[in-house]
Amino acid sequence: MLTLGEVLVDVWRQALAEGKGRVDLPDGTHLVTRTRNQGLRVVYFEYGEARIEGIEQNPLKRSVWAQRASQGERIMQFSAQGRYIGNVAEGRLTRYPAWRDLGLPE
């Protein structure tokens, strides 16, 4: 079984790097949709008990990640239970404190 970190990188790769409309994961296939206003890619999936949302970083926001996205980096933010748990930027995973706070597996 893939670790949660490996799954997040795989979702990023399929949705952003490869531009697929569907993400294939061990638990099934998940549709990649787009937000209405900004057209950002979004995908929902489950890992164990956790329901995860991945959303493409909005380059118009005011953050370091948004600035990097506006410079062409492909970044996807991931959240669970309404909290951002990490992101994948150009294939590299960054975990946020909420990952540990929510008791998500390494």
- For the CA atoms of 65, 66, 72, 74, the dihedral, rounded to the nearest 10 degrees, stands at 60
Q: Specify if 87 maps to a domain.
A: no
Q: Specify if 55 maps to a domain.
A: yes
CA angle centred on 87, ends 75 and 95, rounded to 5°: 155
Domain count, the chain: 1
- Is the dihedral angle over the CA atoms 5, 57, 74, 10 positive or is it negative? positive
**pLDDT 10s digits, 30-87:** 999 999 999 999 999 999 999 999 999 999 999 999 999 999 999 999 999 999 999 9
Q: Specify if 28 maps to a domain.
A: yes
pTM here? 0.95
Q: What is the mean pLDDT of residues 12-32?
A: 97
Q: Specify if 78 maps to a domain.
A: yes
Q: Specify if 106 maps to a domain.
A: no
Q: Specify if 47 maps to a domain.
A: yes
Q: Specify if 33 maps to a domain.
A: yes
Q: Specify if 56 maps to a domain.
A: yes
- The residue range of the domain holding 12 is 4-82+92-101
